[in-house]
A and B are shown apart, each in its own frame.
Chain A
């Protein structure tokens, strides 16, 4: 018996020494990506969310208009971005009571990949533009505008309205503003969100330029633009004008 106890103690000591001199290391990994689908749900989470959902629906389910076509977020140009840039230019011209040469939407600022044709709700516009961004006007020299357009080209193209350009080797070429070739020494009035005008999305070249700010939310401009169509009994239509294209 003593021999056994002695042996057990000895083995325990060995095990202890081994444990101290060993460590764990990942040897194998198996991956899986679950598609989170509607089929199986935890009902306690539905119960939890319901009061929030009810009040969201109350304020967000209002239909503000109709879309004639599916609109998607795409580079160098897509219908959803075109729609947003058109809305920005049109509504800003109305409130600022001035001619705006071009309006821009930063591509990353569009927060939904597409909107289907048919009814458009206030909630969908919130998903498109969830940020409380304000439309800012700036008067910029053609040379600064060229820098900004090069930045846009380098990013693969952003939605814009009032102008067109071709992306060639990451730079903006064949720039037409209101149908005329960009003049580097002329002054242009451009519309951007305060986010971009303040240098957001690396738009440093705009940061120092004085801003006109009437406090109009870009999201409100989108809603108003859609409502304009509704008032005339028309669905929103967007036209691809090859505003931003890739060379070759």
Chain B
């Protein structure tokens, strides 16, 4: 037991430290860790790429990905496992089973959320809705209106995850279907402006719901060289606020490191994407510090480093 004197010394020391600066780092509990694992555009790649001497041979596959994920979960308390869409289409598994093993495998791996890619429409919205019955994680989309489609009430605009002392808001944005998804597959789905909808959703998550972080799962694509005005993750980051991390997809971009962008207010936004086919699993280890609310806005920018 602590003597009275020591107790007071202890407590006042830590209290003093908390009160002293904008960094509330004196107590262990002031630092919160969160590990985000992510995939995108896995495209029905359930088995590893075949051993045919080509550059992707042996890469990917659910058995290897699941092992990596379970090893990380064994070491880390707070993990979020997310996917940025195009789960479907690309191997004969999809032609034969229409996404059943893909969804079951994601459920077994314990995915927390996904968004929808243009190829997830491929066997029809009704099929996507049917396959979703096998999973307990949500499909997050804030800019598709599925009224009068088979997906009505089957997606959610956001989900809030409580991880330790952190509240993490996750949302998603889908790509414009016109000229990409055949009309008969898109059906009555309405595409809404992703910038506007994401701003609304992220503001709600931060301001009203008090989330410490907002993650956007995006299937808009990283960037378009041939059409620099087309909405993409790089533009989305610049045009929005309250979003801390964009986990992207669609363009099959292998980013060797996440891209650090500035939002509308000059605050940091991270963008990451891990190619396609489940060749890579992205990992972001976040450390959160406790700040006094009045100092939050002036808190210094995020430091980004390679995990060793």
Contacts and interface: CB of A to CB of B under 8 A. Distances in A.
Interface of A: 4, 7, 11, 14-15, 18, 21-46, 48-49, 52-53, 55-56, 59-60, 111, 113-114, 116, 118, 123, 126-127, 130-131, 154-156, 170, 194-195, 198-204
B66 A126 contact: no
Interface stretch (B84-92, B127-135, B142-150, B151-159): B84-92
Contacts of A60: 92
A123 to B, nearest CB: 5
Contacts of B272: 31
B105 A25 contact: no
B62 interface: yes
B278 A36 contact: yes
Nearest to B88: A130
B302 A26 contact: yes
B306 interface: yes
Interface string B181-225: 011000000000000000000000000001011000000000000
A21 B288 contact: no
Given A23-B293, A49-B105, 15 more contacts: A21-B292, A25-B212, A28-B304, A28-B305, A31-B257, A31-B258, A32-B282, A33-B280, A36-B59, A36-B60, A42-B63, A42-B67, A48-B101, A49-B47, A52-B96
A7 B104 CA distance: 55
Contact of B287 (A28, A44, A194): A28
B286 interface: yes
B80 interface: no
B160 interface: no
Interface size class of B (residues with CB under 8 A): 35 or more
**Which of B18, B64, B270, B284 counts the most A-chain CB atoms under 10 A from its CB?**
B64
Closest 6 CB pairs between A and B? A41-B63, A30-B307, A45-B63, A32-B307, A202-B179, A42-B66
A33 B182 contact: no
B24 interface: yes
Interface in B281-308: 281-294, 296, 299-300, 302-307
B95 A126 contact: yes
A27 B287 contact: yes
A38 B213 contact: no
A16 to B, nearest CB: 12
A242 to B, nearest CB: 22
Contacts of A195: 182
Given A36-B280, A130-B94, A201 B179 contact: yes
A49 B46 CA distance: 8
Main DSSP-derived SS at the A contact region: mixed
Contact of B213 (A26, A36, A53, A116): A26
23 contacts: A24-B288, A25-B296, A26-B213, A26-B302, A28-B287, A28-B304, A29-B258, A29-B284, A29-B286, A30-B307, A31-B282, A32-B283, A33-B283, A35-B280, A36-B64, A38-B58, A38-B64, A52-B93, A53-B46, A56-B93, A126-B92, A198-B183, A201-B180
A23 to B, nearest CB: 5
B284 A30 contact: yes
Given A35-B280, A154-B226, A25 B291 contact: yes
A30 to B, nearest CB: 4
A42 B180 CA distance: 36
B200 to A, nearest CB: 21
A40 B67 CA distance: 7
B8 A7 contact: yes
A174 to B, nearest CB: 20
Contacts of A123: 91-92
B303 A36 contact: no
